[in-house]
A and B are shown apart, each in its own frame.
Chain A
């Protein structure tokens, strides 16, 4: 290879490696902060800040969803298999919110360690199945 080209190639490779290392370190330093939500285990272990708004994500525990008969208040529990967090939310849940499926709740923990949610989102998994085969195909987690 021509020496001038070789030198330019070396500079380009250096820039690539340097940029990759710099951005890699940046992302590594931010790794905890880049998580969208806390799993319930972190909440129970006290790793989540208690006095500010947080998001909790997990599977909606079977038979834990209770709807109020007077208003739109709904309570349910989220689990990651290790711990559970109770959530209270007043509002309309997304269509895909179901027991056994994943959901993310945003809000503050009150003194009773219940998350007073201001927003609940349904988290869809990566599985796609037609209705007629969904009974036999991959099942949602049985928590």
Chain B
């Protein structure tokens, strides 16, 4: 059987992040199917799935890391959260908005909120768990990712990480350093 590839995920380099929150705007817009001016003029209360956080001097957006052994999926009482084709997905039809996933997420990356188009009533508020879906709906015909936050970042701080090639690069770089150190000491 072919080994399953690890999930891609979004990572932001805090050394490059300016805290401008453009990724938040882009994320909210990307999940709403309209442009910024229209959304604001119509007073749509869009919800980004990432949040820019500041801790001491450091600032960066936090979003779902598409965990391989996702606590949210394990905790979900209705089985609405599951792994599929490299994504941690939420089946909103099964979600009851109980917030267990939000409580167990180590990154606070799950937001329980209603969709702008879902009108609640006295029986339900229609809140569902939502999180970064790597802009699944924007994946193009050629199967390429097109993450709104990555594209919106003015300092290129945000990247979509392919864990395998990231690790390979790391290994190569450290390997090169080790080789250089070794050559120096033997020379």
Q: Do A and B come from one complex?
A: no
B residues with CB within 8 A of A: none
A residues with CB within 8 A of B: none
